[in-house]
Amino acid sequence: GQQVMQIPQYQHVQEGEDFTTYCNSSTTLSNIQWYKQRPGGHPVFLIQLVKSGEVKKQKRLTFQFGEAKKNSSLHITATQTTDVGTYFCAVNAGNNRKLIWGLGTSLAVNP
């Protein structure tokens, strides 16, 4: 079945450093969603990308969808301790509402 590979699994940064997580698929994606889960919390929707080459920004977060729609990235500029958590990518499985999830990238930020 369809899978999405997310790397790295863990990332430890010093506050102020940048952070990037990548999501890759072997098949062309219709769209990709990104979620954030704080420690002890639940996944919260951040954004959806649909168009080839799309770039969206939310303050210090930049989301990109590859030209071939097979990969995506989430980049955080100048991390803060509030960025701590696990970032997941998720993609639609076929013509239904089911999402296929990456394993997530856990971000730790040293103050």
User: Which positions touch other proteins (CB under 8 A)?
Assistant: 33, 41-45, 48, 88, 92, 96-99, 101, 103-104
Decide the pairing of beta strands 85-92 and 32-37: antiparallel
DSSP state of 46: E
The one-letter code for the residue type at 50 is: V
Residue closer to other proteins by CB (options 42, 59) is 42
- Cβ neighbours for 26, distance < 8 A, ≥ 6 positions apart: 3, 70
How near is the Cβ of 40 to other proteins at its closest, in Å?
A: 9
Residue closer to other proteins by CB (options 45, 53) is 45
How near is the Cβ of 102 to other proteins at its closest, in Å?
A: 8
